[in-house]
Structure 1
Amino acid sequence: MESRAAILWEQNAEWSVEDITLDDPKAGEVMVELAASGMCHSDEHLVTGDMVLDPEIAKMIGLEQFPVIGGHEGAGTVVEVGPGVTDLAVGDHVALGFIPACGRCPSCARGWQHLCDLGAFLLAGRQITDLTARHHAKDGTDLGTMCCLGTFSPVTVVSEASCIKLTDDIPLDKAALVGCGVTTGWGAAVNAANVQPGETVVVVGIGGVGANALQGAAYAGARHVIAVDPVEFKREQAPIFGATHTASSFEEAQALVGELTWGANADKVIITTGQVTGDMIAPAMSLLAKGGRCVVVSVADIKANDVQLNLFELTLQRKELVGCIFGNANPRRDIPRLLRLYMEGQLKLDELVTREYDLDGVNQGYQDMRDGKNIRGVIKY
């Protein structure tokens, strides 16, 4: 089958929109015609190299990350199923979860689908079933797919482990957002931070993930929800998603939090910046009250190891620093649940989308993201 896709041929290049061919789905796979794809910052991490393995290491383990079709947030309709697929049929509506969930590995069995063993294949970009490609450039070159999905193409082939079946009443262009950013931000507040009613919560970085961390904190009953971002447009948008106060920097947030809490500080701090660096940890931890928890959601450079952290304060004030992937969520449970909240008016998805683009506008969409013009951009097919 023929389609088009936005391909990243090498690091620090632009996305190239080209014709491609797709193989039929093999055992355990389905072909999906997408309605939309979210434009998540994680695809930008491929461009900048934050999520790119050292070439020598990649060669050693037989991994080729480039060329790769971008996109890992999508929803659409199943148009073909491979042998052995029993849970999905042609015509089914599905959201694609960027974390596949097998349901059988030790993590899935413990209710930790966000740590499914199949996640080991995400950077490989090949089919989970046999580590070969179903997507090919016109010259025959095998193409990888971001998170084994490749939603920067109106048609893609994925493992059934990446598909969450939806009811037909859910708008697919909104369901696309829940495959990564919405669930990651919401779950960071509700699951990883475990926000409780009456707490003070600080969210640092108000993009597609941070806006949903605000929503999760507000839904959980936080008294104060402080949005921190240097971009004025994002601070202006933050109250739509539940922020009660805003600040432009750590320093401004420190004074504000101290005033709001009479010097006790915040119960939870959630870092959702486009990229996290080691020098952000100490000021984030300084915003915490005794026994408070800092949740790191943002992706860092894959080679980054240095962190600034006051260990005396960590111990004597019993503060917690924890990691979070996909909002520590279980996609097969939480994606349908969040979409049901949207349908009932309790989760804002329409307001998240600042601009829509066609596939040829992918580079403009990411430039708008870099310029701070979007909470979330979406490619509509």
Structure 2
Amino acid sequence: MQIRAAVLERSGNDGPFATTLPLTLTTLELDPPGPGELLVRIEAAGLCHSDLSVINGNRVRPMPMALGHEAVATVVSTGDRQDTLFAVGDRVVLTFLPACGECVPCASGEAYLCARAAAANGAGELLRGGRRLHRDGDAVHHHLGVSAFADHAVIDRRSAVKIDADIPVEIAALFGCAVLTGAGAVFNSAALRPGEGVAIYGLGGVGLAALIGSLAGGATPVVAIDPSPQKRALGLELGAAGTFAPDGAESQIETLLGGKPDIVIETVGKASVLEQAYALTRRGGRVVTVGLPNPMERFAISPTGLVGDNKTIIGSYLGASIPARDIPRYIALWRSGRMPVERLLSSVSPLAKINTLFDILARGDAVRQVVIPHLEET
């Protein structure tokens, strides 16, 4: 079938993207789903810094590539005649880390480190191999097994988690990456204990998801650092005990808390910020980093201090999440009002505005923007 998708022809693009137009809305040929795959209609897709890092070249991926990885969709058809888990009409959240179920990480309960999925994502292929997107006879690469900036997609069934259809699509999409990564960093990676103090660097979609996750998990107090006055104000509205501009934040936080926090979560994706996060963490505390800086960046710490202070540095990919387990949990917390995920939503736009929306994201002027591929531009 023919679909419309936002395709990135090359990486390393400079802004303003509304002028340079790195993403082109183009017609692609989409193969039907094979065994273990689903054809889905994309209902909504969120813009994430992981998409931006492919556009600007910080994350090297094969080109051309149909971007987008955080989305909610409806099942149109299945590649298996009798799929026991999914049926036509099911609403599903898409996630960018399918799990083969057979490699050592999968067998060890760490499916978010699935070796086959990582290899497929790096090659721009689906989990079972190959690409289902084509243009003029040439293959177009998948982005993280999803390619959600399109009206339809073929995905591996293990990239989908079934949800109830009554959740507004612009909210449901956010559970696929922002919420899994941010809340997962709190619950899975940091293993938050009620009453612990948490500090968060960065109040984008992931940082705010970490904030509301920390509060839902009983952290007290929760503080955050971000240069945007609007995001700091939103953090306070959501229940943070304090939010601070970067300059002088650490001393202000220590004054407010009467010491250093137990857990510090870094979502910015800069090595220099990770160093600040490490310094802010109390002795014996945990530093969790979910940001993805340029691969050439390095951070420096004192090995003697690491040992003497007994701190733990934890890398957290997708919040160390098991999507089929964690998405229903976070949706339940949202339904109960304990995790107001809807407050992360900045705007809803048609797919045609995708380049302009990435300018807004690059400037830090939005938390989570969502595109609706079937929404016509007005």
Q: Fold match, TM over 0.5?
A: yes
DSSP 3-state at the match of 2:286: strand
Q: What's the counterpart of residue 272 of structure 1?
A: 267
Q: What's the counterpart of residue 191 of structure 1?
A: 188
- Asked if the contact 1:170–1:343 (Cα under 8 Å) also holds between the matched residues in 2, the reply is no
Deviations 1:306-348 (A, max 9, x none): 2121222211111111100111111110012212222222221
Deviations 1:2-23 (A, max 9, x none): 1111110001341111111211
CA distance in 2 between partners of 1:353 and 1:171 (Å): 12
CA distance in 2 between partners of 1:353 and 1:112 (Å): 30
- Asked if the contact 1:30–1:159 (Cα under 8 Å) also holds between the matched residues in 2, the reply is yes
CA distance in 1 between partners of 2:318 and 2:130 (Å): 26
Q: What's the counterpart of residue 174 of structure 1?
A: 171
Deviations 1:29-56 (A, max 9, x none): 1100011001111001101212106xxx
CA distance in 2 between partners of 1:89 and 1:177 (Å): 23
CA distance in 2 between partners of 1:303 and 1:24 (Å): 39
Alignment of 1:298-309 (within 5 A): 298-304=291-297, 306-309=298-301
Moved more, 233-242 or 371-380: 233-242
Question: In structure 2, what residue type is equivalent to 1:124?
Answer: A
* 1:152 to partner: Cα distance: 0.4
* Among 32, 43, 46, the residue aligned to 2:51: 43
CA distance in 2 between partners of 1:12 and 1:105 (Å): 33
DSSP 3-state at the match of 1:7: strand
Is 1:143 aligned to residue 136 of structure 2? Answer: no
DSSP 3-state at the match of 2:204: coil
CA distance in 1 between partners of 2:174 and 2:141 (Å): 22
CA distance in 1 between partners of 2:342 and 2:281 (Å): 32
- Asked if the contact 2:52–2:362 (Cα under 8 Å) also holds between the matched residues in 1, the reply is no
CA distance in 2 between partners of 1:22 and 1:243 (Å): 45
CA distance in 2 between partners of 1:342 and 1:115 (Å): 27
* Among 23, 27, 33, the residue aligned to 1:19: 27
DSSP 3-state at the match of 2:282: strand
Is 1:211 aligned to residue 208 of structure 2? Answer: yes
Question: In structure 2, what residue type is equivalent to 1:270?
Answer: I
Question: In structure 2, what residue type is equivalent to 1:256?
Answer: Q
* 1:116 to partner: Cα distance: 2.2
* 1:256 to partner: Cα distance: 1.6
RMSD: 1.6
Q: What's the counterpart of residue 99 of structure 1?
A: 97
CA distance in 2 between partners of 1:48 and 1:271 (Å): 21
Q: What's the counterpart of residue 157 of structure 2?
A: 160
CA distance in 1 between partners of 2:197 and 2:354 (Å): 37
Q: What's the counterpart of residue 110 of structure 1?
A: 108
* 1:352 to partner: Cα distance: 0.9
CA distance in 1 between partners of 2:222 and 2:236 (Å): 9
Question: In structure 2, what residue type is equivalent to 1:360?
Answer: A
Alignment of 1:26-65 (within 5 A): 26-52=34-60, 65=62
Moved more, 30-39 or 13-22: 13-22
DSSP 3-state at the match of 1:289: coil
CA distance in 2 between partners of 1:36 and 1:3 (Å): 15
Deviations 1:252-310 (A, max 9, x none): 22112221232x3111110001x222x23332111111101111100022333x21212
CA distance in 2 between partners of 1:17 and 1:232 (Å): 34
CA distance in 2 between partners of 1:354 and 1:122 (Å): 28
Question: In structure 2, what residue type is equivalent to 1:136?
Answer: H
CA distance in 2 between partners of 1:245 and 1:95 (Å): 33
> Between Structure 1 and Structure 2, how many residues are aligned?
363
Deviations 1:347-368 (A, max 9, x none): 2122111111111111111111
Q: What's the counterpart of residue 8 of structure 1?
A: 8
Deviations 1:239-261 (A, max 9, x none): 23332101111x52211222123
Is 1:312 aligned to residue 311 of structure 2? Answer: no
DSSP 3-state at the match of 1:168: coil
DSSP 3-state at the match of 1:209: helix
Q: What's the counterpart of residue 291 of structure 1?
A: 284
- Asked if the contact 1:31–1:79 (Cα under 8 Å) also holds between the matched residues in 2, the reply is yes
DSSP 3-state at the match of 2:123: coil
Q: What's the counterpart of residue 256 of structure 1?
A: 252
- Asked if the contact 2:112–2:318 (Cα under 8 Å) also holds between the matched residues in 1, the reply is yes
DSSP 3-state at the match of 1:377: strand
- Asked if the contact 1:280–1:308 (Cα under 8 Å) also holds between the matched residues in 2, the reply is no
